[in-house]
Structure 1
């Protein structure tokens, strides 16, 4: 497989998981579109490692490899196909690499919701710091919390009840996963600060979480997606 086809394979994997993005993407400046998808593809790699089940050793080894890879980007020496697009950005890659081990700790079920948030705070802050540089966006307001909540929401979607804090499971009142989704929504405003691409991606992810919180099937139409992401992208 050539480097170009390997890169396309990674990008297509993310697009397949987020087909709504094809409707939202025209609101992203054309020069940034491939970069945006590459960045979100990288974050999806980290989400998959966070949400792995069964033997964690392969995922942990992969995470360690990514830490080395991100540090090499700081010196403009990439090995992964995604590095072709992301490495030229002079972002704080080393700080993100330093935060990756938090994903291993966060994989264990939290005792309380506050613990779930605390475990991923440094990682979310590192992600937000990279985005501020990548998309030339001055940091205004709390840009890390939306990243944090979205990471937890996508963990709930991928891992199900294994991602729910144990205190909610012990309460035994209704669907614990649904109640956790509702708590995440309470911390996740419909419009978040940060770069346009993040605001639009958050809007799509929040819509999925809303369906889970309400115990209903997700219904997505191009028109709804168009209006939602246009509104989110306006800032």
Structure 2
């Protein structure tokens, strides 16, 4: 089920003992029936925030699955506050330390490298152009963070194709420390590298892969900081990347 419409129809018509009508879901979510019709027809391709949480709670499904198609359809637990937590059977939301990460109503966008290279802020991104949303890796991840999916070999083997890095765009260059992992934009190209700050304050970008060339380049005028990489995870089935937690 690749679309919100398909997942929503499944949750309303197949999962429950009795089909849930659109007007009933609209009442539970607090929207008008045409909004539900737009979700079911595919006219509206995303559901977010409070609408997502209320719909998921009423349909008794995982909000991450409903929004993105990832994870278990139903969750093992639901706490009294209305937030959801996944049980041990859900491998998609495991943090790097093998603890189970909480699933909340807040979902973070997975941006493309093209979007990261052109963005002025996450809020400026057209939400209809975002194809994947994931929960934060920690309950205290700052608002405005986003994920990027690693491509290429410049940071191999610490980071491989398919790893997800969590980026906080609210840092300034003056906030950075040597050996921070950062995403930098040069014109419209975004790149993920380690920052090296020399004693004379000259700054360089270094690939973690020693065999990647050029391995080190100067952080030049015209380059812009997209954000600081504060965390990362790798889907199960492969060795884990180095943990980079910083906030």
Judge same fold: TM > 0.5, yes or no. no
TM-score, normalised via structure 2 length? 0.27
TM-score, normalised via structure 1 length? 0.28
Whichever structure has more strand as a proportion of its residues is: 2
Q: More relative contact order in 1 or in 2 (CA 8 Å, sep 6+)?
A: 1
